[in-house]
A and B are shown apart, each in its own frame.
Chain A
Amino acid sequence: MFNKILIANRGEIAVRIIRACKELGATTVAVYSDADRRSLHVALADEAYHIGGSAPSESYLVIDKIIEVAKKSGTQAIHPGFGFLSENEEFAKRCEKEGIVFIGPSAEAIRLMGDKITARKIAQEEKVPLVPGSDGAVTDVEASVVADKIGYPVMIKASAGGGGKGMRLVRDKDKFESSLRMARSEARSSFGDDSVFVERFVEQSRHVEIQIIADTHGNTIHLFERECSIQRRHQKVVEEAPSSAISAKIRKKMGEVAVRIAKAVNYSGAGTVEFIMDQRGNFYFLEMNTRVQVEHPVTEMITGLDIVKWMIRIAAGEELPFKQKEIEMKGWALECRVYAEDPETNFMPSPGLLIYVKAPSGPGIRDDSSIYSGCEITSFYDPMLSKLVVWADNREDAIDKMASALREYVVLGVKTNIGFLIRLMNDEEFRQGKIDTGFIERHPELLTPGTVDLEPALIAAALAVDDIEETVDSDKQPQSNWKLLGRKAALSGGSLI
């Protein structure tokens, strides 16, 4: 096992990894940008190194700086988390060259799966079903020809894409050109590569993915599926395990297909094979994510396995002590991503100071977050505040538990999607499992509170104003200037710094 591990990430996933490292007895090394000095991952780690400016391109994406810290601190292994350098082949290669273990698959596996067009070819060779589309990256003219051939609606996707970036759904031919331009430009700014491909859009599709775990001794197993069909702007918002859409038979088949794909690229560590499924239960290979997934906790909840710890143990050369048939799933897990964003304005990010945070707790409730009262959500990074995860015996109980836990959350300072998530948990169609990737678009009524009795809100507001004025009136004794300054800062919504 490693003595010292560097976490090349920030936010809740850095916190999650730091905790796993500590439990395994490793010293943890955090890196941070200008904007993250006060972030929780810095406070929780044993060592912390400043690596540059707030923009990811000046810090978390700079390979040289991270390698420099790794060497200076005597780090043996680097966990990249998700996003940033986690699926960067060059970074994995560089680690290898410097004699540092990259906690993840080989650079070669990242390369093969990172390029969606190559990944499609591998899937084809493995006889895995694929959605009809272009054979690789296309020019603007080719793209339009392919779109005409496979028929609208079509999906334009960035070859280097992920997380919904550089992706556009086109329903009508006359919107194709502008969508193609947007997809290319977003792909260029997100991945530095504007090549795209075109695929048929599967109507009312569900997103189901298989968690893979593989060691370096030839053992590759799957940890069942997760369903991530509740999405906005092609990004997942609610994930669950298992999926209510698949039978034991399809589960087995999907798991075997995923294992085959992982073995085809000699995969090691944790990875996810994503599928798109139509309403009849046909599934098609979408892509493989060669890193820990945001929604990994739901799989941990139903299998009882700690995926992040296994990633670290596998990277240290340990052999998986269990076989496929020994893996069991129990109960139902749900995850809601709590975002600083406003559902009423098309989920526009809502950065700012978190004046106050109170997270839910209770049996079967897990809150993976890195927020606290007084922390700042900057516009430099993803606006995810927390991943609220629950576990219960069955889907219905898990949804009830989630609704109840969400109602315990209090976040002041920025707009969040918590109210939307509560309404979603109470939606009859959602509860019946009638979900697909277009669910949110079809349910605009969930975006706003609707008719609400505002009396309690007005009462609370009046009590708060009254209380502040009373305190100011009764402050007759001389008091510390620090207190006065603090109160002024609090009233203007700022901080002392």
Chain B
Amino acid sequence: MTYIFKIKDQVYKIDIEKEKDQTVIQIDGKDIPVEFQKIDDNLYSIILENKSLTIGVSRNGKNLQVFMDGDLYEVEAISERDQRKSPQELSGVQEIRSPMPSRIVKILKEVGDEVEVDEGVIVLEAMKMESELKSPIEGNVTDVLVNEGDSVEAETPLLIVSSK
């Protein structure tokens, strides 16, 4: 089987070849003999040239999470068809969304205001902490979609910034 994975914007092609006693994995053309055991539903013990590694994996729809040495990596599984599509260009319109369920404490910008990169636009409160959401681009605020005091779910569009 061939899989295409994306980790941190880097794409890798992985082939798994299973023979009787051995599994050979090919990453971007390089052969790696692997001895592995699944310890439980989410934990793999992998031996690579006598180096023993314990790695956690969970699957969420088409994506995976891999936990290795204290860090969690989001792995996007791409089908070969998807890969042929050209990556979408970043448009000059940026939607600023709530990263988690939160309350809108203060809206710092109005429609028409100019903003700079990393300038605060909205103050949110979640888990009893206030934090400022910043604009990823330079431009003008073209829409404010919420009001102060509103409670919003994660991923709710809050404000739109358009580049000039």
Using a CB–CB cutoff of 8 Å, the interface residues on chain A facing chain B are 165, 182, 185-186, 189-190, 233, 345-346, 348-351, 355-356, 358, 373, 379-383, 406-407, 409-416, 418-422, 449, 452, 454-469, 490-493
Contact = CB atoms under 8 A, between A and B. Distances in A.
A413 B59 contact: no
B14 A458 contact: yes
Contact of A410 (B1, B25, B54): B54
A456 B48 contact: yes
B128 interface: yes
Contacts of A355: 42, 58, 65
Contacts of A190: 128
A411 B72 contact: yes
Contacts, number: 175
Interface string B23-63: 10101000010101010011110101000011111111100
Which of A348, A358, A456, A492 gathers most chain B CB within 10 Å? A456
B69 A458 contact: no
A383 B126 CA distance: 11
B58 A356 contact: yes
Given A185-B105, A379-B101, A412 B56 contact: yes
Nearest to A373: B42
B129 A233 contact: yes
26 contacts: A165-B129, A185-B106, A186-B125, A345-B99, A349-B100, A379-B100, A379-B127, A383-B127, A412-B57, A414-B72, A419-B70, A419-B72, A455-B32, A456-B48, A457-B75, A458-B7, A460-B44, A460-B68, A461-B75, A462-B5, A463-B36, A464-B44, A465-B77, A468-B59, A469-B1, A491-B59
Given A355-B42, A462-B5, A407 B32 contact: no
A490 B42 CA distance: 11
Contacts of B99: 345, 348
Given A459-B32, A463-B44, A449 B129 contact: no
Given A382-B128, A411-B72, 4 more contacts: A358-B56, A410-B43, A411-B56, A493-B60
B116 interface: no
Interface of B: 1, 3, 5, 7, 10, 12, 14, 16, 23, 25, 27, 32, 34, 36, 38, 41-44, 46, 48, 53-61, 64-73, 75, 77, 99-102, 105-106, 123, 125-131
Q: Which 3 interchain pairs have the tightest Cβ spacing?
A: A419-B71, A419-B70, A493-B60
Contact of A358 (B32, B43, B44): B43
Contact of B70 (A346, A422, A465): A422
Contact of A185 (B12, B34, B126, B130): B130
Contact of A464 (B59, B73, B105, B127): B59
Contacts of A420: 70
A458 B130 contact: no
A373 B71 CA distance: 18
A190 B60 CA distance: 35
Given A356-B42, A410-B43, A410-B67, A186 B130 contact: yes
A373 B42 CA distance: 10
B67 A459 contact: no
A414 B154 CA distance: 14
A459 B25 contact: yes
A459 B56 contact: no
Given A185-B106, A449-B71, A458 B27 contact: yes
Contact of B61 (A182, A457, A493): A493
Contact of A456 (B42, B46, B64): B46
A420 B68 CA distance: 12
Contact of A458 (B5, B42, B70, B123): B5
A461 B54 CA distance: 12
Contacts of B66: 457, 460-461
A346 B132 CA distance: 11
Given A356-B58, A449-B71, A456-B68, A466 B53 contact: no
A262 B79 CA distance: 65
A61 B69 CA distance: 38
A466 B5 CA distance: 13
Contacts of A415: 72
B150 to A, nearest CB: 14
A101 to B, nearest CB: 29
A407 B41 CA distance: 20
